[in-house]
């Protein structure tokens, strides 16, 4: 086997939010692997948990055995325990449904009619409709509602034309459009797995006893730290001691492995009931690590971002983009760059902007914000911008992610792996990084001096302490209050200026884990329509601001709510007595540097959502319908 080792030792954190939201795990080697594949799949369950499935080349019957179950992976494990099948090559899948409901039929793996191979897929095949019509005309019948089934029939068709498995695989992948990463096991080649990567990530862990193939190396972190990341548009044939990889033209690709480091404790809940709670409490340390990393980077940040110091001085504008929580962080970041670095800054929602007109600007920086570095909507926007020659960078938590590979430069947050589906420490470390970067730009552009830069780092660390200290201070009260707020049908979150995008993040956090409808709204807009919703049954959560002018406006908004009999839960800052007196319930927060209000309030905002979800008995780490890494558009 030609394995070239690239010694890239990094603190790599791979996971989340997560984005092609199913997961694949497979093994081929010298060990019986049923238990190993099921364990690996459990570690990837955060990427999708609507159904799961498993296929093995069974050494007793010399045949493929396929097991599939709707629901969480525990169901599949029970079925696997009850079956005596086992073998040296197997593959598994957890699904986040895109085409077809979550039932056994639609669960992966899928097999061809002759049951000669089983296949698992991650992504969405964009031309599946046309392919389905064409294959139907050619005599194939469809038993599932999935897009994956077209891939199965296509592969079957190509395999019937030739004995050359490489040719058949290449012919199959060339016909597929969209995200079409798959792994297959063919019973005529029981010593080998077939893999293809198109858009959704897949990597191969080179172990002593065999090869581990996964959507995220977390699945095999206990077995090996030598990882081959399959390049975009490549196929591979994987055997116990060898990987043979090719591009779509059939050219041989070099197999270069990277050494990855993982912290095993990140994957344990330790003494917390949920990963989300553990991760809420990890934020102070994660922010400290992020600031220490950025401090050490110093002015090397420009080369890391793919810029010259001169470009950093003269860039016309900054354009941030992302989805969900990361988009909220970017929206808050916009205030940092405009106020501190005096840079015109725009923020785009990746899933929307792709379809809008883009007016290229060569003197601008386009920076994605993404915990996972894999979110399909954000990745696609990167690719869209790239076509216009835009200068691209990414702020991400995952050094090995596609976004790092596909942009000119990057900055890393040091949140560590985030396992809970709801993002917590990824968000706060994004805020810390954006605040730091805004100051670094300001320094480079002559708006601040080194002393102010150093002060900014201290300010972030202080806000991180406030974030943690306020959870301890208000814990008991929030646990009690959650019993009442859990009864609400809907909750409105209000903010102004930097606390408006923070209100949107507060509402998202509550919605995704408690399933209570919540909306983040600009406080000033209330009177333009939404105030009609205010009544005693719709609690309003208001995030204050330290700026005296904005604060006074918020006092006015709070009065408008009280005048209509509304219930107010207020997150206020020390000394804001007028606002505090209007509150039905209040959490008072120590003052922090201007614009760091969201960071300081993050801890109790998240803890509140967590407690409400707990009262309602929700599956907090794996909320319904969601997946950590959203790798479909
Ligand atoms: C919500 C959440 C999501 C992600 C979004 C983007 O708690 O985590 O809204 O922020 O799916 O994911 P990333 O940041 O990985 O690009």
**CATH code, domain carrying 546:** 3.40.50.10490
What residue numbers bound the domain in which 123 lies? 23-214+226-259
User: Percent helix, strand and coil across the chain, each rounded to 5?
Assistant: 40, 25, 35
Question: Among candidates 275, 295, 362, 348, which has minimal Cα distance to 17?
Answer: 275
Catalytic residue among 240, 425, 509, 628: 628
Which range scores top for mean pLDDT: 7-21, 389-403, 618-632? 389-403
Specify the pLDDT at position 193: 98
Residue 264 falls inside a structural domain: no
Residues in contact with 465: Cβ distance below 8 Å, sequence separation at least 6, in sequence order: 284
Do 178 and 79 share a structural domain?
Answer: yes
**Eight-class DSSP state of 413:** -
Do 101 and 40 share a structural domain?
Answer: yes
Q: Tell how strand 345-349 and strand 51-58 pair up.
A: unpaired
Q: Is the CB of 330 under 6 A from ligand 1?
A: no
Specify the pLDDT at position 495: 98
pLDDT in tens, 475-501: 999 999 999 999 999 999 999 999 999
**Eight-class DSSP state of 450:** H
pLDDT in tens, 159-176: 999 999 999 999 999 999
Q: Is the CB of 413 under 6 A from ligand 1?
A: no
Tell me whether the omega of the peptide bond preceding residue 162 falls within 30 degrees of 0, making it cis. no
Q: Is the CB of 397 under 6 A from ligand 1?
A: no
Residue 161 falls inside a structural domain: yes
pLDDT greater at residue 16 or residue 528: 528
Using the predicted structure, report yes or no on whether residue 206 has a pLDDT greater than 50.
yes
Specify the pLDDT at position 334: 98
Residue 414 falls inside a structural domain: yes
Question: Within its chain, how far is the Cα of 353 from the centroid?
Answer: 19
Q: Is the CB of 499 under 6 A from ligand 1?
A: no
Do 336 and 279 share a structural domain?
Answer: yes
Per-residue confidence at 200, pLDDT binned at 50, 70, 90?
A: confident
Last residue of a domain, one of 237, 259, 281: 259
Specify the pLDDT at position 196: 98
Whichever domain contains 129, its CATH number is 3.60.20.10
Residue 92 falls inside a structural domain: yes
Per-residue confidence at 22, pLDDT binned at 50, 70, 90?
A: confident
Q: Is the CB of 375 under 6 A from ligand 1?
A: yes
Distances (CA, A) of 187 to 119, 141, 149, 240, 263: 12, 22, 18, 16, 37
> How many domains does the chain contain in total?
3
Do 608 and 568 share a structural domain?
Answer: yes
Specify the pLDDT at position 264: 60
CA atoms within 13 A on the CB side of 363: 8
Do 191 and 80 share a structural domain?
Answer: yes
Using the predicted structure, report yes or no on whether residue 98 has a pLDDT greater than 80.
no
Atom of ligand 1 nearest to the CA of 427: 10
Specify the pLDDT at position 260: 85
Which helix (DSSP H) or strand (DSSP E) does residue 263 occupy? none
Do 236 and 187 share a structural domain?
Answer: yes
For residues 461-487, average pLDDT: 97
For residues 113-126, average pLDDT: 94
Do 406 and 479 share a structural domain?
Answer: no
Residue in the block written with tokens 């598994």: 92
pLDDT in tens, 243-267: 999 999 999 999 999 998 766 666 6
Do 233 and 112 share a structural domain?
Answer: yes
Specify the pLDDT at position 15: 36
Specify the pLDDT at position 49: 74
Dist. CA 447 → ligand 1 center (Å): 33
For residues 124-136, average pLDDT: 93
Residue 627 falls inside a structural domain: no
pLDDT greater at residue 386 or residue 263: 386
Q: Two tokens at 434?
A: 């954006």
Specify the pLDDT at position 4: 42
Specify the pLDDT at position 263: 65
88, 29 in Cβ contact below 8 A? Answer: yes
Using the predicted structure, report yes or no on whether residue 391 has a pLDDT greater than 80.
yes
Residue 379 falls inside a structural domain: yes
335, 547 in Cβ contact below 8 A? Answer: no
Using the predicted structure, report yes or no on whether residue 218 has a pLDDT greater than 90.
no
Distance (Å, whole) CA 313 – CA 332: 22
Using the predicted structure, report yes or no on whether residue 7 has a pLDDT greater than 50.
no
Per-residue confidence at 44, pLDDT binned at 50, 70, 90?
A: confident
Is position 628 annotated as part of the catalytic site? Answer: yes
pLDDT in tens, 47-80: 777 889 999 999 999 999 999 999 888 889 999 8
Q: Is the CB of 444 under 6 A from ligand 1?
A: no
Length of the chain: 633
Q: Is the CB of 16 under 6 A from ligand 1?
A: yes
Q: Which of 321, 371, 418, 627 to mutate to test the pocket of ligand 1 (most atoms within 8 A of CB)?
A: 371
Using the predicted structure, report yes or no on whether residue 115 has a pLDDT greater than 70.
yes
Specify the pLDDT at position 265: 65
Do 581 and 514 share a structural domain?
Answer: yes
Distance (Å, whole) CA 333 – CA 568: 27
Out of 36-45, 82-91, 612-621, least confident range: 36-45
φ and ψ of 83, to 5 deg: -105, 145
Q: Whose CA is nearest to atom 10 of ligand 1?
A: 325
What global pTM score does this model have? 0.76
Do 230 and 155 share a structural domain?
Answer: yes
**Eight-class DSSP state of 525:** G
Q: Is the CB of 18 under 6 A from ligand 1?
A: yes
pLDDT greater at residue 566 or residue 265: 566
Is position 22 annotated as part of the catalytic site? Answer: yes
Q: Which of 275, 276, 324, 623 to mutate to test the pocket of ligand 1 (most atoms within 8 A of CB)?
A: 324
**Eight-class DSSP state of 241:** T
Question: Among candidates 331, 362, 317, 515, which has minimal Cα distance to 431?
Answer: 331
Specify the pLDDT at position 385: 94
Alpha helices in 146-262 (DSSP H): 148-161, 165-174
Atom of ligand 1 nearest to the CA of 372: 15
DSSP H helix total and E strand total for the chain: 19, 26
pLDDT in tens, 517-547: 999 999 999 889 888 898 889 999 999 999 9
Catalytic residue among 22, 85, 180, 364: 22
Residue in the block written with tokens 């001691």: 241
Do 254 and 273 share a structural domain?
Answer: no
Specify the pLDDT at position 633: 65
Residues in contact with 413: Cβ distance below 8 Å, sequence separation at least 6, in sequence order: 286, 290, 371, 395, 396, 397, 426, 429, 430, 432, 433
Do 103 and 135 share a structural domain?
Answer: yes
Residue 1 falls inside a structural domain: no
Residue 221 falls inside a structural domain: no
Q: State the average pLDDT for the chain.
A: 92
């Amino acid at each position: 086997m030609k394995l070239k080792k690239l010694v890239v030792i990094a603190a790599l954190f791979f996971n989340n939010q997560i984005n092609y939201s199913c997961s694949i795990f497979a093994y081929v080697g010298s060990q019986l692997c049923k238990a190993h594949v099921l364990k690996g799949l459990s570690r990837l369950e955060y990427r999708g948990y609507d159904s799961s499935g498993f296929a093995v080349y069974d050494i007793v019957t010399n045949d493929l055995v396929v097991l599939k179950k709707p629901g969480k992976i525990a169901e599949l494990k029970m079925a696997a325990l009850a079956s005596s099948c086992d073998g040296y090559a197997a593959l598994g899948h957890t699904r986040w449904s895109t085409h077809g409901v979550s039932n056994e039929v639609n669960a992966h793996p899928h097999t061809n009619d002759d049951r000669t191979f089983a296949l698992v897929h991650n992504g969405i095949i964009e031309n599946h409709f046309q392919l389905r019509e064409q294959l139907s005309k050619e005599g194939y019948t469809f038993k599932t509602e999935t897009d994956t089934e077209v891939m199965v029939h296509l592969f079957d068709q190509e395999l019937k034309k030739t004995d050359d498995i490489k040719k058949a695989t290449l012919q199959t992948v060339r016909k597929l459009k969209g995200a079409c990463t798959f792994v297959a096991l063919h019973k005529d080649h029981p010593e080998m797995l077939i893999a293809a990567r198109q858009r959704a990530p897949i990597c191969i862990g080179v172990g002593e006893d065999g090869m581990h193939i996964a959507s995220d190396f977390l699945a095999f972190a206990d077995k090996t730290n030598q990882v081959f990341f399959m390049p975009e548009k490549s196929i591979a044939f994987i055997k116990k001691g060898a990987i043979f990889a090719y591009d779509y033209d059939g050219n041989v690709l070099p197999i270069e492995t990277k050494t990855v480091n993982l912290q095993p404790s990140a994957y344990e809940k330790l003494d917390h009931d949920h990963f989300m709670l553990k991760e809420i409490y990890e934020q102070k340390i994660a922010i400290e690590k992020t600031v220490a990393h950025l401090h050490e980077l110093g002015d090397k940040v420009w080369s890391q971002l793919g810029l010259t110091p001169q470009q950093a001085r003269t860039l016309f504008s900054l354009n941030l983009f992302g989805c969900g929580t990361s988009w909220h962080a970017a929206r808050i970041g916009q205030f940092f760059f405009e106020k501190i670095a005096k840079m015109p800054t725009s923020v785009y929602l990746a899933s929307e902007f792709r379809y809008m007109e883009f007016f290229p600007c060569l003197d601008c920086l386009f920076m994605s914000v993404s915990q996972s570095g894999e979110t399909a909507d954000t990745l696609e926007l990167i690719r869209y911008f790239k076509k216009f020659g835009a200068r691209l960078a990414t702020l991400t938590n995952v050094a090995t992610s596609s976004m790092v590979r596909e942009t000119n430069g990057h900055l890393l947050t040091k949140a560590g792996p985030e396992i809970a589906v709801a993002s917590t420490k990824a968000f706060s470390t994004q805020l810390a990084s954006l605040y730091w970067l805004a100051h670094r730009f300001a320094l480079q552009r002559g708006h601040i001096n080194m002393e102010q830069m150093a002060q900014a780092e201290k300010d972030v660390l202080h806000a991180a302490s406030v974030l943690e200290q306020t959870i301890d201070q208000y814990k008991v009260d929030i646990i009690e209050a959650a019993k009442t707020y859990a009864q609400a049908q809907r909750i409105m979150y209000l903010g102004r200026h930097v606390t408006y995008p923070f209100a949107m993040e507060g509402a998202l956090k509550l919605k995704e884990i408690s399933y209570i409808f919540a909306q983040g709204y600009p406080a000033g807009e209330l009177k333009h329509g939404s105030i009609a919703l205010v009544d005693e049954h719709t609690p309003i959560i208001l995030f204050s601001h330290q700026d005296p002018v904005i604060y006074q406006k918020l006092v006015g908004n709070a009065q408008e709510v009280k005048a209509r009999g509304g219930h107010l839960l207020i997150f206020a800052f020390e000394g804001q007595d007028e606002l505090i007196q209007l509150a039905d319930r209040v959490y008072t927060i120590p003052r922090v540097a201007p614009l760091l209000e969201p960071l300081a309030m993050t801890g109790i905002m998240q803890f509140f959502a967590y407690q409400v979800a707990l009262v309602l008995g929700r599956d907090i780490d794996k909320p319904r319908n969601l997946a950590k890494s959203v790798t479909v558009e």
